[in-house]
Chain A
Amino acid sequence: MPKLVDRVKPLKNRRRKKLSAEGRWGFLMVSPYLIQFVVFLSFPLAASLYFSFSKYDMLNAPKWIGVENYTTLIQDPVFHKALWNTFYFTILFVPAQTILALVLAVALNQSLKGLKFFRIAHFIPVICSWTVVLYVADAILNPRFGLANTILAKLGSNPQAWLGDEALIIPVLVAVAVWKGVGYMMIIFLAGLQNVPEDLYEAAEIEGAGVWKKFRHVTVPLISGTTFLVLVLTTITTFQSFEQIYVMTSHLGDVTSAGGPNNASMVLMLYLFQQGFSFLKMGYASAIAWVLFIILFGITMIQLKLQKKWVYYEK
């Protein structure tokens, strides 16, 4: 008996050594991510929570003031405006872009001549920076010589101020955002549509289903998984949108005027940026960040709950 143990032991040792060598390589190779996780994610997360309960201007050490930042936020009219605008923007943008992208993807999902051209035409806005979009949009939205007012004049309507109009600015920004983003989402839907088996459509046709019925009863349920993912991700990014509004509402490059006119386009991220980086109220800005985080968390939870009602999963 002892002989057997003696024979097994070195084998076991050798195996453990081999495993730990691989283990060491494994740790070494994931180390960039570990550094990121500790230094640039975990620590910032904890620090920003602490800052949100402090008065902090980057020059002096943060001073604990309890919930004061949050109680100030509740009474801050600009914050209310920013909160409302963020919701308003998201509620207009997310459904509009999703529906349009889906329609385009369904239309493109067949053998058409010029398919590549259409795909390129819809994707070019995606590769533009917001600075490019600013000047491209100006060709349309310039109140004096843009295409939009030219068309309105031809139709006999009054010219509009577009980005200068308090009531119009958010819908106009949403339209521009859809123009820029719809191609990207269309590609995601196209990938989802290509996973729908062709024989399901054939079966539906045999049952006498028309274009609409096939769309409603085959396409929609089978890409509901993709749709759900897209909805969650776009809601999260739209809630944090900053670049478009920063660029498109800064009058003549004066970034302190961003969010205007009269805060009509002030959104949470822009307010956070101005409070933190223009006025150095880092504690107050951190509190805004955490309110944003909590709202997003809530919305994602609601979406996850509702998902069970409408997302179809193949068994």
Chain B
Amino acid sequence: MFNRSKKRKAISYTVILFSSLLMLTPLVSAALNSLKSYKEYTAIPVQWIPNPFQWQNYIEVWKMTSMDTYAWNSFIVTVLSVIGALLSCSMVAYAFARLEFSFKNSLFVMVLGTLMIPPVVMIIPQFMIFNQLGLVDTLVPLWILEWLAQPFGVFLMRQAFLAIPKEYDEAAKLDGCNPFQTFVKVYLPMCKPQLATLTIFTFMTKWNEIMAPVIYLSSEDKFTLPIGILSMSGAWFGQEQYLVAAALMSLLPILIVFLFAEKYFVKGASSSGLK
């Protein structure tokens, strides 16, 4: 028995080490590429370690392109999305979890139902709506829907509220709180982990989003980082090490958040599977 579990551990380690290697090799090679000169970048046979490390690649690409504009746009979209998601999802979820009102159940079934409809069907009419409102080629369509309670966040927050004992309700009512005050003062502070998960998930989705920016944005000064860097690739042909540096720079903020708040990423991922 003892041997068997030892054998199992040995196999597990081999599998995981090998797969971690597969996961990290491309990232490490790209990081090394971003620090090379173009001559080293294209050297045959491959020169793995840049000599010297060209840290200035990062500074130069930031200075010579509109990356600051792209980063600012990404920042605006992400921050407004996060605020919207936190406010709207928790408020809607609280009503579904704790309040009694007519058609509550049928409304909640509708939320479930919307998960079944592939977003692709809605893309064109939604574009038409934003076009009518004169909001195409602005950042608004990229964040406004987050203010209208997306189902993932509603589910996440609803689960959190349902887990809180009902007695808190009664106590708040006796103190003369209306449902909204109860929600803000009593319930929200108790759901910090779920709010953190929702923040991080919205941040990750919005920071990395490509489809909506591609559909809605046409002026270069409105571009967010992922499509902005993509749009640079034609002009920087023959100096790709700069593009690699730009791409990795766009990863940096989310990587830092991830390394500090890894457990919330994990929580978000696992709750999306156990809805």
Contact = CB atoms under 8 A, between A and B. Distances in A.
Q: Is B a genuine binding partner of A?
A: yes
B247 A26 contact: no
A36 B119 CA distance: 13
Contacts of B148: 32-33, 35-36, 40
Interface string B1-44: 10010011101110110011011111101101100000001111
B163 interface: no
B110 A25 contact: no
B229 A131 contact: yes
B43 A145 contact: yes
Contacts of B88: 32-33
**Contact-residue bracket for chain A:** 35 or more
B154 interface: yes
B12 A289 contact: no
B92 A29 contact: yes
B143 interface: no
A224 interface: no
A30 to B, nearest CB: 5
Given A23-B100, A144-B44, A145-B46, A48 B131 contact: no
Contact of A58 (B128, B250, B273): B128
Judged by DSSP, the binding face of A is helix
Given A32-B149, A129-B207, A293-B121, A147 B22 contact: no
Contacts of A252: 233-234, 237
B252 to A, nearest CB: 10
Contacts of B145: 36, 40
**Contact-residue bracket for chain B:** 35 or more
Interface string A133-161: 01111111000110100100000000000
Interface stretch (B51-59, B190-198, B208-216): B208-216
B67 interface: no
Contacts of A144: 42, 44
Contacts of A292: 118, 120-121
A301 to B, nearest CB: 11
Contacts of A276: 123-124
B129 interface: yes
B274 A116 contact: no
B30 A139 contact: yes
Nearest to B243: A135
Contacts of A127: 204, 208, 251, 254-255, 258, 265
A306 interface: no
A30 B127 CA distance: 24
Given A23-B102, A243-B211, 7 more contacts: A26-B179, A33-B111, A47-B124, A131-B247, A136-B30, A233-B273, A272-B123
Interface of B: 1, 4, 7-9, 11-13, 15-16, 19-20, 22-27, 29-30, 32-33, 41-46, 88, 91-92, 94-96, 99-102, 104, 107, 110-111, 114, 116-129, 131, 145, 147-149, 154, 178-180, 183, 204, 207-211, 214-215, 225-227, 229-234, 237, 240, 243-244, 247-248, 250-251, 254-255, 258-259, 262, 265-266, 269-275
Q: Which 6 A-B pairs have the closest CB atoms?
A: A26-B101, A188-B273, A191-B270, A44-B125, A253-B233, A129-B208
21 contacts: A41-B117, A108-B16, A112-B12, A119-B262, A122-B20, A124-B255, A129-B210, A130-B226, A134-B230, A135-B243, A136-B30, A138-B33, A145-B41, A150-B46, A188-B270, A211-B7, A229-B274, A239-B118, A253-B230, A254-B234, A276-B123
